[in-house]
């Protein structure tokens, strides 16, 4: 150290102070993975660090700033260094700000949006297209590792320097509104020409009906319940799951149960209008649900008896309100019984011959089956197959509209069933028998608010119209064209796009119905 070298003298004294006056090491409490983003949160502490560093820089000892300030403030030297580096391009501090609490912990959604903000719109669009074209369209399993391995295909040039790992990709996908959920098989129907033509026909029919106005629309369907039905998601005690016997010995339980014994199954059929449930009917089957389809406990005779009463009540209410009666119904087999059904080519020769004779069609004895089949082919199946329910609707003056197969989102009653089954979890006790369950559910449907029923009708009303469902024909579109069309019709006001029936059921919690907005045609 040269005599008169003031900078060297200051450096020497500061070094000795750092050596003897404070502990030699202060560990950083944050894990290594988060240290690169960790800076001082308190604005007053940050201002002190920057002012002190500026003073030490004026005296030629700025390299000792991290060590000295770390000891004075009891924070890690790397945190001090990051705070100084982060403020290099900031204007000089002229005053000390007041103390403020550290910012609140970021929510999951905020973290996702922060990750999305790191990447350019080009990368976001390319990643979405990569997911659809490389995985969804080819029915391949999607994993975060596969997406990471293919990052060269979706990462834009401007984002090549970005860190891309599985955690980043997971947050990025969530921020783009992707979700890791139970997959549905219904997505393939929108690439089927036949089903899409049925959808377009249904939408055109309903558009014409609603354009004319003054219509009273009911939606009819069936479902089933049993007393053992329980939600699949709920709170439970994980400690009880680890040691169930110990908990039971202490007078507790082994945890929450998803479902106990099924008990007697009840079949429910009802209609839903914007004014509430209509014509509810619940009958006890006397059978214990085995997890199979309830349709085997329903038949055409029972349904036709019920639907006749529905037509009477629908016409009566429509006349009182001076509206046109309209009934929405699906295509279950017991909804579609045919009166004197036209034979097919697979039927026996005698069956075909007898049917032709009953219809007054010349059918000389001795004709071969091929000749009888040729006569059948000349006839219109639409003209000769008379559906009993359709004929009843015509007799009562009711417009009957069939919903497309596998597209339950067009049936408002399905949303009513979802609400009823959620309510059942709280209504039904383990000791209730079929009679008590029936009474409770009938009372619940009778008192269900009309405003919620109206929101269900409005929600089903707007489905697929904005997406061009009236004219959509998938075989004429490539995968790229389908994706481009989807990007053009995304509804920014739709807070939660719904594609599958399970998603529809999850949307309508008790306080969510008012968020459903109607769409005017």
Give residue 489's pLDDT: 40
| Residue 151 burial (10 A CB sphere; 0-12, 13-18, 19+) | middle
DSSP 466: T
Cα angle 19, 22, 25; round to 5: 85
**If DSSP codes are grouped into helix, strand and coil, which group holds residue 400?**
strand
| C-alpha separations of 129 from 291, 467, 482 in Å | 39, 18, 11
Residues 6 or more apart whose Cβ sits within 8 Å of residue 157: none
Give residue 439's pLDDT: 92
DSSP 411: -
Give residue 174's pLDDT: 92
Question: How many angstroms separate the CA atoms of 262 and 290, rounded?
Answer: 8
| C-alpha separations of 467 from 211, 316, 495 in Å | 19, 36, 16
CB 276 within 8 A of CB 448: yes
Give residue 79's pLDDT: 83
Is the Cα dihedral 6, 8, 10, 12 positive or negative?
A: negative
CB atoms within 10 A of CB 314: 27
Mean pLDDT (10-residue bins), the chain, 521 residues:
58 60 50 50 76 80 80 79 81 68 72 91 92 84 92 92 91 91 74 82 88 91 83 78 87 77 83 94 74 62 91 94 93 84 85 85 82 84 83 93 88 92 83 87 94 91 73 54 45 39 41 37 30
Residues 6 or more apart whose Cβ sits within 8 Å of residue 104: none
DSSP 329: E
DSSP 189: G
**Runs of H (alpha helix) within 101-228:** 108-118, 121-131, 144-149, 151-154, 166-175, 193-212
Q: Which helix (H) or strand (E) holds 336?
A: none
Give residue 171's pLDDT: 93
What are the boundaries of each domain within the chain?
Answer: 29-101, 106-179, 193-226+262-341+378-516, 348-376
Give residue 462's pLDDT: 79
**Residue with token string 């000089």:** 92
Candidates 3.10.20.440, 3.40.50.2300, 3.30.420.10, 3.30.470.20; CATH matching 193-226+262-341+378-516: 3.30.420.10
Question: How many angstroms separate the CA atoms of 343 and 11, rounded?
Answer: 105
* Cross-sheet strand order for the sheet of 324-329: 276-288, 264-273, 215-226, 324-329, 399-402
Question: How many angstroms separate the CA atoms of 402 and 335, rounded?
Answer: 10
Give residue 356's pLDDT: 86
| Bridge partners of residue 386, in order along the sequence | 339
Question: How many angstroms separate the CA atoms of 204 and 470, rounded?
Answer: 6
Nearest in space to 270 (alpha carbons), one of 513, 454, 518, 444: 444
Question: How many angstroms separate the CA atoms of 253 and 331, rounded?
Answer: 45
């Amino acid at each position: 150290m040269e005599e008169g070298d003031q900078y060297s003298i200051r450096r020497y004294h500061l070094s000795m102070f750092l050596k003897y006056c404070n502990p030699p090491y202060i560990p950083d409490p944050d894990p290594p993975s988060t240290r690169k983003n960790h800076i001082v949160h308190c604005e007053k502490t940050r201002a002190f660090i920057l002012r002190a560093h500026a003073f030490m820089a004026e005296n030629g000892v700025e390299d000792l700033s991290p060590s000295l300030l770390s000891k004075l403030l009891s924070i890690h030297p790397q945190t001090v260094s990051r705070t100084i580096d982060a403020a290099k391009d900031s204007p000089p501090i002229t005053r000390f700000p007041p103390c403020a609490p550290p910012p609140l912990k970021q929510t999951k959604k905020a973290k996702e949006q922060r990750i999305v903000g790191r990447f350019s719109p080009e990368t976001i669009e390319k990643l979405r297209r990569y997911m659809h074209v490389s995985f969804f369209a080819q029915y391949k399993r999607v994993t975060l590792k596969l997406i990471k391995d293919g990052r060269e295909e979706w990462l834009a040039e401007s984002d090549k320097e970005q860190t891309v790992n599985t955690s980043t990709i997971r947050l990025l996908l969530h921020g783009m509104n992707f979700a890791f959920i139970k997959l549905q098989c219904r997505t393939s129907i929108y690439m089927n020409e036949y089903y899409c033509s049925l959808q377009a026909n249904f939408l055109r029919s309903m558009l014409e009906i609603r354009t004319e106005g003054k219509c009273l629309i009911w939606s009819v369907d069936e479902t089933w319940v049993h007393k053992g039905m329980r939600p699949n998601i709920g709170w439970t005690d994980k400690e009880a799951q680890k040691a169930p016997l110990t908990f039971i010995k202490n007078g507790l339980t082994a945890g929450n149960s998803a479902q106990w014994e099924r008990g007697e199954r009840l079949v429910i059929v009802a209609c839903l209008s914007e004014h509430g449930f209509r014509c509810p009917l619940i009958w006890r089957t006397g059978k214990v649900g085995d997890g199979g389809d309830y349709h085997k406990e329903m038949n055409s005779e029972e349904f036709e008896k019920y639907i006749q009463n529905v037509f009477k009540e629908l016409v009566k209410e429509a006349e009182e309100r001076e509206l046109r009666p309209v009934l929405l119904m699906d295509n279950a087999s017991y909804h579609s019984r045919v009166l004197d059904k036209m034979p097919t080519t697979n039927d026996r020769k005698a069956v075909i011959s007898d049917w032709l004779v009953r219809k007054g069609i010349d059918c000389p004895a001795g004709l071969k089956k091929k000749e009888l089949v040729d006569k059948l082919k000349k006839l219109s199946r639409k003209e000769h197959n008379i559906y009993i329910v359709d004929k009843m609707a015509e007799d009562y003056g009711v417009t009957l509209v069939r919903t497309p197969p596998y597209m339950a989102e067009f049936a408002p009653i399905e949303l009513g069933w979802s609400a009823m089954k959620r309510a059942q979890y709280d209504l039904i006790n383990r000791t209730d028998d079929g009679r008590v369950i029936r009474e409770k559910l009938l009372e619940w449907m009778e008192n269900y608010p009309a405003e919620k029923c109206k929101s269900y009708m409005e929600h089903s009303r707007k489905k697929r119209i904005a997406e061009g469902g009236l004219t959509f024909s998938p075989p004429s579109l490539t995968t790229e064209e389908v994706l481009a069309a989807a990007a053009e019709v995304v509804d920014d006001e739709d807070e939660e796009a719904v594609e599958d029936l399970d998603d529809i059921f999850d949307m309508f919690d008790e306080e969510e119905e008012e968020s459903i907005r109607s769409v005017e045609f």
